[in-house]
Amino acid sequence: MNEELMQIINGTLCPYCQCATKLVNGEVIYPHKVQDIPRPKYLDKMYYVCILNKDHYVGTYHDNKTSLGRLADTELRRWKNLGHRTFDVLWKEKKVFHSSENAYKWLSDKMGLPGELTHFGMFTVEQCKQAIEFCNELSS
Ligand SMILES: [Zn+2]
């Protein structure tokens, strides 16, 4: 994997602006939620956000440091969510797969991607659409 792609996947390079990112808490991402009671938990999570455009961001894992994938804009967030919903039911509800591991193995074969790159958080809009199509073929 080349250096640039690695930085994009790690959330340290904005794939839209080709600029740096910074690690911020959820209050920066969701300022309109700061006054909410009860306080939403995601406000205390950390996010990588583009230094030029606040609409470009991605969440982190439990360590509040490892990014969930590439920075996303509003459109990509929509596709990631739809992709996850379409994919997750295959193993959670429809039992097409016995485990998430099996399901991801299938998806990585279909997509022709190594396992470590087969995560919706790392997909582009095109890859999300492709994954959704494979999932729909399987469950139709
Ligand atoms: Zn950006």
If asked whether residues 37 and 81 sit together in one domain, one would say no
Residue 119 structural domain: 74-139
Average pLDDT of 108-130? 97
Task: Assign 13 a pLDDT band (cuts: 50, 70, 90).
Answer: very high
The answer to whether residue 67 sits within a structural domain is no
pLDDT of residue 82: 98
Average pLDDT of 41-68? 97
Mean pLDDT estimate for the chain? 96
Tokens 């959670």, residue located: 92
| CB-based contacts of 2, cutoff 8 Å, min separation 6 | none
Neighbours of ion ligand 1 (CB under 5 A): 14, 16-17, 50, 53, 56
User: For residue 7, what are the CA distances in angstroms to 11, 71, 111?
Assistant: 6, 10, 21
If asked whether residues 45 and 21 sit together in one domain, one would say yes
- Number of structural domains (the chain) is 2
φ, ψ dihedrals at 45, nearest 5°: -85, 165
- Whole-prediction pTM value? 0.91
pLDDT of residue 1: 74
Q: What angle do CA 25, 30, 36 make, to 5 degrees?
A: 105
The answer to whether residue 66 sits within a structural domain is no
If asked whether residues 82 and 135 sit together in one domain, one would say yes
CA 28–ligand 1 middle distance (angstroms): 15
If asked whether residues 54 and 78 sit together in one domain, one would say no
The answer to whether residue 25 sits within a structural domain is yes
CA 17–ligand 1 middle distance (angstroms): 4
pLDDT of residue 32: 96
CA 88–ligand 1 middle distance (angstroms): 29
pLDDT of residue 17: 98
